[in-house]
Amino acid sequence: MGKETAAVILAAGKGVRMVSRKAKALHPLCGMPLLGHLLRTVSRCEPGRTLVVVGYQADEVRAAFSDWEVEFVLQEEQRGTGHALMQVERYLADHGGEIMVLPVDTPLLKPYTLQGLMREHREKGAAASVLTSFRSDPSGYGRVIRRQDGSVEKIVEDKDATAEQAAVKEINAGVYCFASSVLFSALKEIKDDNVQKELYLTDVIEEATKRSEKVVALEADAEEVLGINDRVELARAEKVLREEINRSWMLRGVTLIDPETTYIDCEAQIGEDTVIHPGCHIGGTTVLGKGCTVMPGAVVTDSRVGQGARLGPYCIVHGICLPYGGEVGAFETKKNALQP
């Protein structure tokens, strides 16, 4: 992305549909909170700055990511995605370049897709660019309304859509790239005259087209821009990511006897020729060496397991360091026993 780009992640919402005491940004997906996934994706695109808008449980979210090189911006009242961006304006007062905006609940997004949006935005000389996708069931998402010539006119939220608009299958993924001058001046015009009485960021798109600014839409893979609003979608995303993780370890020489029932967290590492039997959980920051055998039902978290070790069926291993060729017996529990 480059120095001239600022990335803004919107993470202030409560996530009402999660029905949770925990902020949505902190719900884990394959062992990493949603915000962690977004930050990882964004950091791979190397923006000049990364800002995270926090609100609901702001202190908890800040504390969980205090090690990351990000600036937190507080949105005290959550009055909508447009209102969230308004809080960012004074932090980016001197920022003349582009602003990339991402919701915290789209964790399957890939860096190359973001870079693709940025490239399209620049090549087309756009003032605003938005990632879209096609869904057979678009309900819950904002719909992309196009003019007869195919150009984007506006985005209409599900709850505000007429029957005709609701039938549109092209949805807004909630990921945008803006010229900062256009974004902040258009934000001044948006109103909360909608069903949810919120200030919608999506209305900036309509404001831009009204001003005859260039608005570009780029289609992304529907699965990749799956938005997580409830726990059903969380489980769906977890399954997609789990399959991706398992596939990548198999291609790097790890045998998974039954990938469908193997759970490997996104930060775990596994050496080649290790064999993992069904029903195992390899969690947290675990590093399994080469040529290990992990028998059925083993649960291994935050541990270092030396080359050639054998973990017996249904063992529980947490925070240990197991030497080369070491062994943990069937049903044995080993915890916090850090050995050299």
- CA dihedral of 30, 33, 35, 41, whole degrees rounded to 10: -30
Coarse DSSP helix, strand, coil percentages of the chain, rounded to the nearest 5 percent:
30, 30, 45
| Among ligand UD1, Ca ion, none, partner that 187 touches (CB below 5 to 8 angstroms by kind) | none
Q: Contact, 294 vs 278, CB < 8 A?
A: no
Which strand (E) or helix (H) includes residue 255? strand 255-256
78 binds, among ligand UD1, Ca ion, none (CB under 5 to 8 A by kind): ligand UD1
List Cβ neighbours of 246 (8 Å cut-off, separation of 6 or more).
256, 259, 262, 264
CB 202, min distance to Ca ion, A: 12
Whether residue 48 contacts residue 3, with contact meaning beta carbons closer than 8 Å, is answered with yes
Q: Can you tell me whether residue 48 is helix, strand or coil? A: strand
The nearer residue to ligand UD1, 67 or 77, going by C-beta atoms, is 77
Query: Nearer Cβ to ligand UD1, position 65 or 249?
Result: 65
CB of 55 to ligand UD1, least distance (A): 6
**Closest residue by Cα to residue 276 from 305, 306, 291:** 291
Q: What's the min distance (Å) between Cβ of 279 and Ca ion? A: 33
Q: How far is the CB of 76 from Ca ion (least distance, A)?
A: 20
Q: Which is nearer to ligand UD1, 233 or 327 (CB)?
A: 233
With tokens 């995605």, the residue in question is 81
Pick 227 or 259: Cβ nearer Ca ion = 227
Q: What span, in angstroms and rounded, lies between the C-alpha atoms of 202 and 157?
A: 8
User: Any contact of residue 157 with Ca ion (CB under 5 A)?
Assistant: no
155 binds, among ligand UD1, Ca ion, none (CB under 5 to 8 A by kind): ligand UD1
By CB under 5 A, the residues from 222 to 241 that bind Ca ion are 227, 229
104 binds, among ligand UD1, Ca ion, none (CB under 5 to 8 A by kind): ligand UD1
Measured from each CB, the residue nearest to ligand UD1 is: 142
Q: Sign of torsion, CA 117 123 124 127?
A: positive
Q: What is the DSSP string of 223-245?
A: TTT----SHHHHHHHHHHHHHHH
Query: End-to-end alpha-carbon separation of the chain, Å?
Result: 42
Distances, alpha carbon 121 to alpha carbons 7, 127, 155, 179, 215, in Å? 14, 8, 18, 9, 9
Minimum distance, C-beta of residue 285 to ligand UD1, in the bound complex (Å) = 26
The mark string for 90-109 relative to Ca ion (x by CB under 5 A, - otherwise) is: ---------------x----
Q: Nearest to Ca ion by Cβ — which residue?
A: 227
* Residue 17 known to be catalytic: yes
Q: Which is nearer to ligand UD1, 1 or 38 (CB)?
A: 38
How many residues bind Ca ion, per CB under 5 A? 3
Nearer to Ca ion, 10 or 215 (CB): 10
Min separation Cβ 81 and ligand UD1, Å: 4
Tokens of 261: 């029932």
Residue ranges in contact with ligand UD1 by CB under 6 A: 10-13, 53, 55, 75, 78-81, 83-84, 103-105, 141-142, 155, 157, 171-174, 200-202, 227, 229
* Contact set with Ca ion (CB under 5 A): 105, 227, 229
Residues labelled as active-site residues: 17
